Chain A
Amino acid sequence: MSMRRTDCEGFHRRDVLTIGSAGVLGLSLPAILAAEAKAANKRDVASTGKAKSVILLWLAGGPATIDMWDNKPDAPEGIRGEFKSIPTNVTGIQLAETFSKTAQVADKLTVVRSLYHTIPSHSPATVFMTTGNKPTAALQYPSMGSLASKLLKTDVGVPPYVTFGDIRNGTAGLAGYLGTGYNPFVIEGSAPQRGEGKAATGGFSVRGLSLKGTFTLEELEKRDSLLRKFDSGFAGADSSNDLVDGLDTFHQQALDILRSDKTRKALDLTAETAATREKYGATPFGQGALAARRLVEAGVRFSTVSFGGWDTHSQTFTAHKTRLAPTTDTVVSALVSDLADRGLLDSTIVMVAGEFGRTPKVNKNSGRDHWARSMACVLAGGGFKKGYVHGSTDASGMAPATEPVTPDDVASTIFRNLGIDPALELQTPTGRPIQLFREGKVIEKILA
């Protein structure tokens, strides 16, 4: 980074507004005003870098990855779970038998078996995994999605970063020190029920980005023309006010978005064939993942789709068999193969992870408790190796045995594949320079 004092020289606020680099959804006003928001500083994903988008399949509650991606059928009694391992379509890679569909797309995955951290508590662990920075009391780190929304270019009319529902009741997945402008757009509602076109009921929408019921576009235009008649006097009184000007820019953008049907069309799952919808499974997780794929096609940079219920302190194996594994197996395999079939996998990163793993030792309730010292996660697509297992845990799964990596490293590698230097410095509101991922190192061995 060069000497800071030269950064702003010769740059006038109003120029930025009129240049219209503000055409990006989710920017905050100061970001538009600040010289930092110069469009040139944003990476043009179309021209360089392998990956353009990320879909995070978030397994909330802490999945027992020892019963999934790092199954240990040969471990001692009391540690090994109830599941056998099965071969996959890659010689030498085995997964738990509950993931038979995922086993058929293993040739497209990188399985990281040596991930670990040290925080066995849901909230801070969620922050760690979703930000790539160890949480501290002194600073709120931005989520990877918020960083993507700050650093990657996004087309007008499309939200850069969306989450299907909130993560941890809206306490994670947020913009932290970047400011509210980089928070995710929240997708509400549920997948449409069976039926085609108008016969379908329900449906996804982005909160604030869509009109509903009797409030039609026509109605909006009518109200807006009335609004124009009341809004000019105030603005005219102080014609050189950045804030007043900035709000008008946002108003124009809001109208552009509401008039555009890009996002609405992307979220209309009835445009998919019944076969595709069935492939993802008739679950909120599956239909969310399908919608996320459609959003990637529309230009969304980062989508998080959550699937909860992994906090299995008791009856881990029953929960996996009946509920967790079948859904996850279906969704992961469907998403990865669908992206591959459409030629999107090379430009889309899929990450499947939760906040921590679970104790290798099975407790007295046939459950597993929180365990952060070893866990596995699955990465696929944009810039990652295909059909590859990275690292290993020891015989009882307690800790990484080879190639230990941390959440910071995973985040760094993802951003490296998005074409963004993980050591890039941003400034906190107090002016402190801070690297994207302070302790992260790119995991070279999993790069394609």
Chain B
Amino acid sequence: MLARRYLYALVAAIVAPGATYADEVKLPTGGSIKEVDFERHIMGLLSKVGCNAGSCHGSFQGKNGFRLSLFGYEPAMDYANLTRDNLGRRVNTQKPDESLLLQKATGSTYHDGGMRFGKDGWVYNVFREWIRSGAKWTRDSGEIKSLDVTPGDFALLKDAKPLQVTVKATFADGSVEDITPFCDFKITDDAVAALSPLGLLTPRQPGDAGLTVLYRGSVKAIRVLVPAPAKPGAYPAVSEVNYIDREVFAKLKMMNVVPSELSSDEMFLRRLYIDALAQLPTPDEVREFLKDKDAKKREKAIDKVLAHPLHAAVWATKLSDITGNNTQALEQPVNLQPKRSQMWHDWLRKRVADNVPYDQMVRDILTATSRDGLSPEEWIAFVKKIDEQTAKGPKTDYPNKQTLDLFWRRQQQVPAEQWSEKVAAAFMGVRLECAQCHKHPTDRWTQDEYWAFANVFTKMTFVQNQFSSPDVKKLVDAENAARRDAAPKANNNNNILLVRELFVGAQARPRPNPGTNSVPLPRALGGEVIKISPTEDPRVPLAKWLTAPENPFFAKSFVNRVWGHYFGVGLVNPIDDFSLANPPTNARLLDALAADFVKSGFDLRKLERTILLSRTYQLSYVPNDTNKFDKNNYSHAYIRPLMAEQVVDVLNAALGVDENFTGADAEFAGMKMVEVGSSRLVSSVSYALRIFGRPPRTTACDCERAMEPALPQTLFRMTDQNVLLKFNSATGRVRKMALSKATNEEIVEEAFLATLSRMPKELEKADAVEHLKTAKTRAEGVTDLVWALVNTREFILNH
């Protein structure tokens, strides 16, 4: 085959004199290429026109007998498959236009993938010229040293003028080439600017979007800023409370965007309570707050909620999501799984309530063991105490345990690579899963780095009949034998609560990189090889590396989560997707928050306080002319949906009732939804949680919590029997109001304060009073009124 190609080339050289000289190919962005290079140009185009996508020839099975490496990471394979496979029909150096590659891609011959480019375009010419000049490959000619995008950090599209993005690559041989047309460009929000396939940006409306440039596995991202039209007159002075405002307002000023007014007291208090407590302020709390003349009353309110017991419960709920407190994945017996989830939740809640430094908390999760260094006897005694407590109710001493071993204790063995993915997502905000099978398409992680990181997690042992020492085994065996004897005969092991131990054994089971079949040594993600003796726990150096002040991910990923919680949109968004392709909207602010958080000794309470005190947090949701399109620069408060748990608690608060936990959930009676750890509830509340998107916590992705509204949510508030029953509760607010001696005006005010946390406007008050007057009974009138209020959009959204 090879010989024949040489022959063709020879013949071509003879019959077509001059053909050995390359024909220049003109590029659409200006300039031309003298010599088409396989790696630099052909491989770039294979990605750009989509040939090597996962759904096409990049699939591991290939497509229709033709396989390319996914996203083009293996030039050798691709070259071989293009030039030799299929009897060499794919490229025909003699008659380039008859090459199957060109015939298929232009749709001249039937192609499942449709037409990828036309016959008269520059892409065709590049392919054709490469084939015509002999379809050659110079190994490593396209090895990239660096990629430079112009403009650099951001593209500012002023005065409605388009802007061409250019990309230059520096290759290993030192040569520099403008490879703009060979890159793939993506924009996160094309309402802000239109982006042509060749990198031309045309502004559409004021805003801020991410632009990603992909060139053969290298990724660069910049931000695209379209400023609002400059207003005549000076940009107004906006007062700043702290460095958050300084950074937020500086960027807004650059974009000619003026922040909204400060929120009203009513708006502020409601937002604060929903965010920090998953509660509404009571009517009396709103009244008192409005009356208070103290200039520092907002600060006082902030300190009050941050010290409130429910505040820690909100974070325990969020951290339960982050750490994967999935009730169904916990140890059997099944009936004890919700109790274990509760211990997990309460352990986290205690850390937040005590304001344990975040790095300490994470170390106590990452390096957890069952024994925490206790003697076998002490440990068994502790386990027995907890087990006795769980039989009685949801409160146990588990939160007093030093480390959260439940994080690692799962019913089924978890492969090392799933632990590493969970840890990366939870504590670094990095999504690794792509790199399991191929280099991450929009990030730096290679398969080797993936498996090296996975191999940190190969030494935990949590199986029946294995313990950290013979002494422990003896004691546990005796205890478990007693428990088996005491259990009813019909029970199998799955129904008996047995003592098991999570510990780090000497035996590691490292996994090979399936791409190379070699076993990478354990390494922190993007860090050094972890060198330890066989008896040591590799999680300890990992935790040290992770929580070190200089770690590039740890502080940033957490401050971003906290920011996302209070604003609805992360500085990096999605909040757990830190990657090369996804730069923060305000890098200076993210850096400042992270630096402050590290400097404070990872003090969560202080971080929250700084955020809540900022003017940025306290802005009104009502936009002005300049900021109405803003979705990610915090120029006004964003109207946003509530988390499922907030929906349940806020609705109950409005109606003045407790959640009706029944059946197996009965032990949670009297608790707020954010205080419940279990992800698997069985009573009526489970329906609400499901339709409002509470996550089952199976995957390590923030996206599992569905925040998008859906029709059943609207129907739920309007017609659901369990909601309507709460209107009729004998101890609930609606009944109390109906029976009270208050005037119609007083009732209306109370109803508005209890639901929307604000006074009714004059017209609203008149309409509501009129309704109460004309209702057949007061009970009916009050029910109608409260029903109408909880079914408003103002009620079900945070703003």
Contacts and interface: CB of A to CB of B under 8 A. Distances in A.
Interface string A285-305: 000000000000000000000
Interface in A210-235: 210-212, 215, 220, 222-224, 226-227, 229-231, 233-235
A212 B767 contact: no
A251 B756 CA distance: 18
B277 to A, nearest CB: 22
A101 to B, nearest CB: 36
Given A207-B687, A230-B788, A254-B715, A243 B640 contact: yes
A238 B53 CA distance: 41
A258 interface: yes
Contacts of B191: 12-13
Nearest to A174: B690
A140 B623 CA distance: 38
A439 B704 CA distance: 24
B433 interface: yes
Contacts of A240: 623, 628-629
A26 B714 CA distance: 11
A139 B114 CA distance: 30
A29 B328 contact: no
A230 B682 CA distance: 35
B716 interface: yes
A254 B55 contact: no
B771 A123 contact: no
Contacts of A238: 621-623, 628, 639
Nearest to A248: B793
B431 A430 contact: yes
Contacts of A2: 50, 114
Interface string B696-723: 1011010110101111111110111100
Interface stretch (A3-11, A54-62, A349-357, A370-378): A3-11
A430 B702 CA distance: 10
Contact of B709 (A1, A3, A209, A243): A243
A139 B436 CA distance: 14
Contact of A138 (B53, B197, B433): B433
B794 interface: yes
Contacts of B763: 229
Contacts of A137: 414, 418, 698-699
A241 B797 CA distance: 12
Contacts of A388: none
Interface string A243-260: 110111011011001100
Q: Contact residue range for chain A?
A: 35 or more
B449 interface: no
A140 B792 contact: no
Interface stretch (A175-183, A193-201, A335-343): A175-183
A254 B717 CA distance: 11
A208 B716 contact: yes
B716 A229 contact: no
A26 B711 CA distance: 6
B355 interface: no
A251 B114 CA distance: 42
Nearest to B760: A230
B194 A9 contact: yes
Interface in A146-188: 169-171, 174, 179-181, 183, 185-186
A432 B434 contact: yes
B788 A223 contact: yes
Contacts of B698: 137, 140
B715 to A, nearest CB: 4
A183 B712 contact: yes
Interface in B431-449: 431, 433-434
B710 A231 contact: no
Given A5-B195, A207-B720, A248-B793, A27 B433 contact: no
Interface residues of B, number: 79
Nearest to B693: A180
A233 B796 contact: no
B691 interface: yes
Interface string A420-446: 000001001110110100000000000
Chain A CB within 10 Å, residue with most, of B191, B640, B788: B788
B747 to A, nearest CB: 14
A19 interface: no
Contact of B771 (A179, A208, A215, A226): A226
A331 to B, nearest CB: 27
Top 9 nearest A-B pairs (CB, nearest first) are: A429-B703, A208-B715, A181-B710, A234-B794, A227-B788, A226-B788, A250-B714, A28-B710, A180-B706
18 contacts: A1-B55, A2-B50, A3-B49, A3-B50, A5-B197, A140-B699, A169-B680, A170-B690, A180-B712, A212-B721, A226-B785, A227-B788, A227-B792, A229-B763, A237-B621, A247-B796, A250-B711, A251-B791
Interface of A: 1-3, 5, 8-9, 12-13, 25-31, 123, 137-140, 169-171, 174, 179-181, 183, 185-186, 207-212, 215, 220, 222-224, 226-227, 229-231, 233-235, 237-238, 240-241, 243-244, 246-248, 250-251, 253-254, 257-258, 425, 428-430, 432-433, 435
Interface of B: 49-50, 53-55, 114, 184-186, 190-191, 194-195, 197, 328, 414, 418, 421, 431, 433-434, 574, 577, 621-623, 628-629, 639-641, 680, 682, 686-687, 690-693, 696, 698-699, 701, 703-704, 706, 708-716, 718-721, 724, 756, 761, 763-764, 767-768, 771, 784-785, 787-789, 791-794, 796-797, 799
Given A254-B718, A429-B701, 19 more contacts: A5-B184, A28-B708, A29-B710, A137-B699, A138-B421, A179-B708, A181-B711, A183-B691, A207-B720, A222-B784, A229-B763, A230-B764, A231-B794, A240-B623, A244-B793, A250-B709, A250-B714, A251-B714, A429-B703
